[in-house]
């Protein structure tokens, strides 16, 4: 389970870099929550207890790519206003 936490921490820090003060806050919050819950769910499913945290992180990244794209799209939309 320590591996899953490390994976979530790495992925969460990546998502934090895409914030903006403008834009529709509710849509942004929804996109961020969807990404967050995707990473938790995927990490729990993919964490087999092995020490290969990088492999798990890459698998979680792939599993949650659509949600991450939604978060970055919300940030880009907000920053272009």
> 19 with 71: CB under 8 angstroms?
no
| Pairwise pLDDT comparison (32 vs 5), residue with the higher score | 32
Cα–Cα distance for residue pair 28/15, rounded to 1 Å: 12
20-78 per-position pLDDT tens digit? 454 588 898 999 999 999 999 999 999 999 899 999 999 999 999 999 999 999 888 77
The pLDDT score that the predictor gives to residue 20 is 46
Q: Is the pTM of this model over 0.75?
A: no
The pLDDT score that the predictor gives to residue 35 is 97
Which candidate, 45, 57, 56, places its Cα nearest to that of 11? 57
Cα–Cα distance for residue pair 79/81, rounded to 1 Å: 6
> 56 with 21: CB under 8 angstroms?
no
């Amino acid at each position: 389970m320590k591996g899953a936490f490390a994976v979530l921490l790495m992925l969460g820090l990546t998502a934090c870099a895409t914030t903006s003060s403008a834009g529709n806050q509710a849509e942004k919050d929804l996109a961020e929550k969807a990404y967050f819950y995707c990473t938790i769910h995927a990490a729990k499913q993919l964490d087999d207890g092995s020490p290969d945290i990088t492999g798990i992180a890459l698998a979680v990244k792939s599993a949650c790519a659509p949600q991450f794209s939604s978060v970055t799209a919300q940030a880009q939309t907000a920053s272009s206003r």
